[in-house]
Each structure stands twice: as structure tokens, then as C-alpha cells.
Structure 1
């Protein structure tokens, strides 16, 4: 096998290479178990975005297959999540698109395509690790906003309120629902309470059991046997039999959808990376951020032509997949095959499902996102992280989830920039007429001026010295900006009668510096040494 062929094979279906036939039974069972969760859950998530339930079903097809062929996680199941569905709804509202059934497929195809393109560009720029710098406080705040917003948005369906009194935004929606409670439909409320109770009890006492499947089957059976529609219980619209027809994106919608797509792309990768790392067994290979970025990107590109919601790894179905013994992404291919079977055969049966049943699935899934215990832990450990999470959540509940994502991301990078600006500079002892100092941290454009000023201060505060021996052994990389700053430092010290001597520069930093005329001049003047001791010894010899 040539090197080029080996590289290609390493990227294609990594979890299926060297497949052991003994894994087949476990993978099939795991795929069916995950399908029992992910198919009804994805259909429920489609309703969050005010899209037909079959859109959720379609999201369990092409994106899953693509991730199975490109992704590095053995057990992660990729369809969509409550966060992504909510951001999709927010994006459509902000862009004022998808107002009717005719516009919805093209608007969805356009949004999912933009998300895929953004992720592809991020992969080409190797931004996988950069995106992962967004801290847990930001994610916690966004998830609280998602959980509370979605839960309130599902209350009319749980109460059987046919006029959907929710307004735009969390506060107004909550007030509208409270005012409409007297008009609730009694049988719908009973069904909702029973559905939520079954989901919570099975999650508590039988966590390995496919609770969503039980609730969906129970709702369908109750609807058919008890003729619940006769007493005012709404059912979902008819689910068309067949596979999704290709949808052509509407490029005129790109400007309006782009801001939301950026937020969705960020959250899609963050959620996928978090799930992949969270369920990885110790015996499995490390998760490669750039591989996951590419797999998520291509999954979204595939979904854009098959009427799919933006795709991301979901924790609940992935956890079911893992607990059922999934050994490879063959389990996900089984789940996708199950979704295809449902689309081809079970459409009329699904049309009997009460709307309240899907709402119960959504509410029990998203309430878990409101992690008060995690907030308390942040408050105990880091007030800074706690207040960032609170600020992000408040923005999400008042100004919208896209605003929360933006505030959280900007807040994270403000903290990162502050950390990058920190100067870790260790003054050394005066030996003869030279004083040493060590750069004890990484040097970036953001902090190089701080290091320059710190070095000048050491030289000025050391009486009687005529040389500063600067230890750069901790500096792993050099840029033009950094080299220019060192040259400026050399000139500033020269004006003060102090000679700059560099020591410890090695590896890529030394290779880059060697291309600079100024640095080569230092070498020619014997002002570059491997260590502080060598530099001070050379000065003693000269004197």
C-alpha cells in the first residue's frame, strides 16, 4: 500500500477498519436500541423548529451514514439535538423565512448547507482545537437558555392549547401560557402527565430501556384505541411515506441565515466533540478534533440535500448506543436503516401519535440541560466562570439564543485574550556586569510588548550592568511580530548602553529567527548562546 493510499484509508470508515465479525451482534442490537430513542426524539426536535416531523426522521438518514464513514467515535450517534433545533427555530424567526410549508424545505436546505460550508472552512483552517477553547461556562449558559426556552415553548402542546399562545421570547411566552391555562384540554393534560411520568420513571429505574419508544408506542395505541381525537387530543400531521426528495437551496436567503448558521455550526461541533470525548472508552483511540470537524461538516452537507436539520452528535442516543455494546459505527448504519424503514412503511401509524407525546419527549430531554448543580459547582470553584454562565443564560432568556451564543463565545475569548496577555517574566541574578532574565511562558503578539517592557525594566533597575542575558528556552515559536519586538528591545537597550544577549533559542523558533537579518547579525556578533552559563562564561573570558 502506497503512503497516499494509506492516508486515504485512514480517513475513510476508521471505526470499520479491521472489523471483527464477533462484534456484529452487539452492533445490530445497539443500532436498534439507539434507533428506538433517536427516531422519535429527532421527530420531536423537528417540532421545536416548527418543521414537519418527517424532517427529524430524515435527519436520521444521510447525516448518520456520512458520520459513520468519516467519524472517529465508535459509538456516537449523529442526528440533531435540542440545542441545534432551537437555534434553527431562532434563526428562521430572526431571518423571517420558512413562514409556510412551501418555503420551509428550501430555507432548511440553505441553512444546513451554510452550516456545512462554515464547518468545512473551519476544517481547512484547522480551527478544531480553537473552537474547543470555548469553555464549559459558555456551554452551560447556552444549555440553560435552550432548556428553559424549549420547555416553555412546549407547554401549549402539553396543555392542549390549540391557539398556541406563546409569544416571542421566554418571558412573554411564559406569561402567555400562564394566562391560557384555564383553556387547557383535560385529556391532553392527563396524557402529558402520564407520558412524562413514564419517561422519568423508566429513566430512573430502567435506564437501559428505550423509554421514548415505550411512550411513543403507548401514545399511538391510546390514540387509536380510545379515539383521543374525539375528545380534543391533537395528533401530529400525516407523515408522508417515502424517502426525502432533494431540496434546492435558495441562495437569496444566505445573508439572513448566515449569523444563525455561524452559531449553529459552533454549537454543532462543540456538542459533537464533547459527546465523542465523553463516551470514548480508554481502550479506544483519542478523538481527533479536525477529523470530527470534517465528519460533522460533510454530514451537514449531505443533510442539506435531504431536508435534514443541521446535524450534530447527541448525547442521549449516543449513550444508549454505547450502553447497548456498540463496537463500531456499523451500529449507526443500523439506526439509519431503521429510520429508512420507518419512512417507507410506518408513516400512517406515526400519524396517530398525539402531539402531546412528542412534547413530553422534548420537555424531558431539555429539562436535563438546566444543570443547577453545575452552576453551584462553578460558583464554588470559579466566580468568573459562574458569572459568565449566568450572563450567557440571561441573554439567552431575554435577547434570544443566538445572542447567548455570541455573548458566550466573545466572553470566552476575552478571557483567553487576557490569559494570553499575561507576562511570565523571571528576573535572574547579576553576575559581573550582566543581569539575566527568563521568559517563563509562551510569547504571542498579544503579550510581546509586555515582555519587552519587563526586560527594559530589569535592565534599568540593575545598577552597573552593561548586558542583559535573555533566556528564551521556553519560547517554542517565533513570528515576524515577535522578532521585530526583540529587535526593538535590542535598540532600546543599546540606547541605554546595555547589550542584549539571547540564549536558549532552539527548535522551530530558532529556525524562524535564522531567516532574519537582525538575528543573523546577533550571531555574527557572538550574542547568541545555548545557555545562560555559556553566555556569562564568554563574557568573563572577554573581560
Structure 2
């Protein structure tokens, strides 16, 4: 249904939604403009991303307080995709390629929704997300250093280490005025976050930077300003049809990350009174938001945590708050373009720097190391690849590593020993199958049962396989049980299958091999 968050809406909630939408707008508008610079796009593209995509999510999304615009992760992935295009593209063509990429992201998300892949995509592990975010945070922070320091920076340098080395080689050219403005903006953002989190820090530093330029001659002392922001609304764009093949792999990676970020934010913001977050609904909402945004000069959209948190703290009751935020962006585009022309580049870079450094969580890496070492290495490898090979590759490889861990877990033995009961016979070994068997875990399960029986001293006379948790029968299950029966019989041990649900037992007896095993007393 359309606008599911408006179901059961009460009139007295309107003021909460409007205030929350305005509050979120004061954060998301300057922040999205800053993220557009990460992607190498004009700042107004970030502003446009707060319009149609946000309205689309408001009509289709299930989260009451999620704010749909874009994120630093999506911005740097977008930059990576555009950087991989041939160098003969003009500036205008690259911008159109960015919009084509957004539409392709929407197409990928809608394709995943068509095949109901929401729950599968969610299997991307937190370890992968931790590594990707660390790689994104450090890489984006490095891209902002030249702007924060007022140096030129080498546009040919790519990757974290190359950019840091380039900055270190130009420290003699640092501009003192720019550094002072950057330090003040970063310090104020951190101070407000700590002592007054309800105050929209990005808006405060943006207004402060504009007033500084308007009231002083600081611009004459080396402080660079953002390019002119055109007034007006975005116009429809047409895709770069010839670049679709080159953009598609990157669009798929961005679609995965956009969906993951959106679902994570939606679930983190969900209140107990709200319906559970439906992954497939979020796929649809995010996909439509991206597809429409691709034809309205927007970056790939995703749910952003910071503005969503502002939305929730301000009392948002529904996606009417998102509609209000979109209207704030429209008003800014129509009337505040000339004012934004006085915004220093260093202030935008400061917003980006503070936002992305927060993505690097040392605590998360430490917890992974202490709790589950393989996941720690997945996170570390994903982060390392992001800093060296590239963030797009790190996302895809991180997904592959996650699937390797999942397959390894699924391919492990499904048989577990049950605690011995003092009244149980000592010559009986009881094992439980904790799930059904398939090709990947059948052999490990068979080997584990054999080892448990043959290694026990003294050997049991009977092995009981508790199958009460087996919900369906597969051919690997039948082959494993019958083979185990034969192997154990040769060792003088009987195998008994117990607790198999009636429907599963009926299905298993359709196999002649299992029926013979059961008729010989192998089933109880």
C-alpha cells in the first residue's frame, strides 16, 4: 500500500512531523551537498537528492523516521565508479553518467525486489560492513585533506595511501586561513555533538561560514568558496545509454550497500509500536527512489543515520516528516542559491571529515577479534582492500568472503551430542540433528556421527539420532542415514532414528532404502 506510515495517522501528530522534517532538513541539506563533492559532482546534485528520492521513500517506505538522501559510503562508491570510465568524458557527460548510475542502482534494487532477495542480501555480515565502512571512512577523510589544508592536491592520485603521501609532500604550501576555518568548523561540530546533540551542527557551521565570508574579507586571504549554486529545481535528464554496460557492475555494488544501509538505519530507528521492517518493502522503496532520482539529477540514495536520528529525536511520527524535509530542500533550491555561493569549501570538507571519521570503529574490530576471529579477518581484509585495491572491489570481495563463511557454516556437521541423563543406558550414544541435511553438510554430518561412535570408550551398542528438529527430508538425509546404518552395523553398532516428524517420516519411507532401514527396526 502507499504511505504505510500514515496508517492510523492522528491530526495532533502533524506538528511533530513538520518540526522533525525541518530539523532533519537543516542537517541533511548541507550534508548531502558535502557528499556530492566526494563524488566529484556539483553541490546542487546533493541538494536535488533530498527531493524526489525522499518523496518516493515517503510514499513507499516502511520506516516512520528514516530520512532518505545519500551517505558518505554511497558518495565514495559513486566516485569510484565514475573514475573507472574512459578519460575522454566531458564534465557534462560525467554528470549525466552519475545520473545514469543512479537509475541503474534503482533498476538493480527493483530486480532484487522482483525476485524477493531482500532476506538473502541481508546475509552480508556485519564484519563486511565494518570493513567497508572503515575503508570508506579513511579513504574519504584522505580526499578531504587537501581542501581542509588549502593545498591543490594531485587529482591523479588514487587510494588512501597515494592521497596521504601527496598531502605530506605539499605541507609547505598549507594555507593558514583555510586551516583555521577548517579547525574551527571541525572543533565546533565535535563540540555540538558532545554537549548539544539536538543542535544541527552542519547547519550551524554552514551559517557560520557564510557569515564569515559575507562580513569579512577572509576570501582575499586564500579561503576558497564552493562553485556557484544555481537557483531552481532539477530538470529531467536522459541516460548515457552507451555507458550502461560499464556502469552496471558498480551499480550492483552500490545497490547492495544502499539497501544494507537503509535496512540497518530503519531497524535501528524502529519503535516497538511500529511494524517490523520488511526487507522487500525497503528494496522497493529504495529502488523506486533511486530510479526516479536518476531522471531528476540525483545521486544514488540511501537511508542516512545522522539525519534519521535527528528526525527521530525531534519526534517524527511518520514519513510526513520526510515530505517536509523534501520541501525544505525545494525552498533552499528556489530561494537560497545566491546565499550558498558564500559557503567555504573548507566548511563542507569539515562536515564530510567529521561524518566519515565516525565510520572507523576500532571498538568494532576489537570485538570481532575477541568474539569470532574469522569475522575479524573478513573485516580486516575488506578494509585493507578498500584502502589499496579500491572500495568497489572491497564491497564485492567482502560479499564473497561473507558467502564463504556462510557456506562453511552450512557445510559443517549438523549432529550435536546431547547431555547425558543419569538414567540413560551407558551403552547408548544420543546425538541430535539440529537441521535438515543437504549436499554440503551431509558428508561432514556422517563423518561426525561415525567419529563420535567409534572414538567413544567403551563403544556404544546403539547410536540414537534424534531427528525431531528435521523439518523436511532430502535425498542427502536418506543417503546419510542409510549409509550410517551400514557403516555402524559393520562395527557392531545399531543406528536408530528417533523423533522424526510424521510428515517427514512419511516422505522418507517413499524411498525403498529408507523403508528397508525402517522396517529393520531403524526408526522409533
Aligned match for 2:248, one of 254, 258, 281: 258
Q: Secondary structure at the match of 2:343?
A: coil
CA contact (8 A) 2:437 2:474 kept: no
Asked whether the 8 Å contact 2:414–2:437 carries over to 1, the reply is no
Matches within 5 A, 1:107-256: 107-162=97-152, 164=154, 167-256=157-246
Distance 1:456 1:382 in 2: 28
Question: How far apart, in 2, do the equivalents of 1:282 and 1:525 lie?
Answer: 50
Which of 351, 354, 357 is 2:344 aligned to? Answer: 354
Separation (CA, whole Å) in 2 of partners of 1:158 and 1:331: 33
Work out which of the residue numbers 44, 62, 70 in structure 2 matches 1:80: 70
Contact between 1:97 and 1:107, CA under 8 Å: does it hold in 2? Answer: no
Contact 2:436 2:477 in 1 (8 A): no
More displaced 10-residue stretch of structure 1: 47-56 or 212-221: 212-221
Q: Is the 8 A contact 1:92 1:98 kept in 2?
A: no
Listed as ranges, the matches of 1:497-508 within 5 Å are 502-506=497-501
Give me the whole-angstrom Cα distance separating, in 1, the residues matched to 2:124 and 2:63. 21
Distance 1:485 1:293, change over 3 A: farther
Are the equivalent residues in 1 in contact too, given 2:414–2:441 (CA < 8 A)?
A: no
1:364-379 superposed matches below 5 A: 364-379=354-369
The alpha-carbon distance between structure 1 residues 524 and 261, as it changes in their structure 2 partners (threshold 3 A), is same
* Residues 136-145 or 447-456, more deviating: 447-456
Q: In structure 1, how many angstroms separate the alpha carbons of the residues matched to 2:477 and 2:88?
A: 50
Structure 2 vs 1, CA of residues 427 and 116 (structure 1 numbering), >3 Å: closer, same or farther?
same
SS in 1 for 2:472: coil
| 1:333 paired to 2:328 | no
What runs of 5+ residues in structure 1 fail to find an aligned partner?
A: 1-8, 537-543
TM-score computed with the length of structure 1 as normaliser? 0.86
Counterpart position of 1:48: 38
| Aligned counterpart, 2:469 | 474
What is the aligned partner in structure 1 of residue 93 from structure 2? 103
Report if aligned partners of 1:166, 1:173 keep a CA contact under 8 Å in 2. Answer: no
Per-residue deviation, residues 319-373 of structure 1 (Å, max 9, x unmatched) = 0000111111110110001111111221121122111111111111111111122
Output the CA distance in 2 between the equivalents of 1:393 and 1:224: 42
In 2, are the aligned partners of 1:478 and 1:508 still within 8 Å (CA)? no
Determine the C-alpha separation between the residues in 1 that align with 2:107 and 2:481: 40
Indicate the RMSD between aligned Cα atoms, in angstroms: 3.2
Query: 1:405-420 residue pairs with structure 2 within 5 A?
Result: 405-420=395-410
Q: Match of 2:444?
A: 450
* Matched-pair contact (CA < 8 Å) for 1:16–1:329: yes
Indicate how the Cα distance of structure 1 residues 452 and 124 shifts in structure 2: closer, same or farther if over 3 A, else same: farther
For 1:154 and 1:333, locate their aligned partners in 2 and report how far apart those are by CA, in whole Å.
Answer: 31
- TM-score by length of structure 2 reads 0.89
Inter-CA distance 465–374: structure 2 relative to 1 (3 Å threshold)? closer
1:282-340 Cα shifts (integer Å, max 9, x gaps): 23222222222222122111211112111111100000000111111110110001111
Distance 2:187 2:518 in 1: 79
Partners in 1 of 2:118 and 2:68 — Cα distance?
18
Q: Indicate the residue corresponding to 1:289 in structure 2.
A: 279
Task: Give the paired residue count.
Answer: 519
User: Which residue is 2:511 aligned to?
Assistant: 518
Change (3 A) 1:176 1:295: same
SS in 1 for 2:303: strand
Instruction: State how 1:276-315 maps to structure 2 within 5 Å.
Output: 276-315=266-305
**Cα gap change, 1:97 to 1:306, in 2 (>3 Å):** farther
Select between 243-252 and 352-361 the one with higher mean Cα deviation.
243-252
Aligned 8 A contact 2:453 2:459 in 1: no
Uncovered stretches (5+) of structure 2, i.e. residues with no partner: none
Deviation, structure 1 residue 460: 7.9
Shift in alpha-carbon separation, 1:105–1:487, aligned structure 2, 3 A: farther
Whether the 8 Å contact between 2:230 and 2:337 is mirrored in structure 1 is yes
Inter-partner Cα distance in structure 1 for 2:472 and 2:387: 43
CA contact (8 A) 2:478 2:514 kept: no
> For each residue in 1:213-239, what CA deviation from the matched residue of structure 2 results, as whole angstroms up to 9, or x when unmatched?
111111112222224333332211112
Deviation at 1:181, TM superposition (A): 2.0
Name which of 52, 55, 78 aligns with 1:62.
Answer: 52
Distance 1:440 1:417 in 2: 16
Change (3 A) 1:350 1:207: same
* 1:157-204 Cα shifts (integer Å, max 9, x gaps): 112224556711111110111111221222222221221122111111
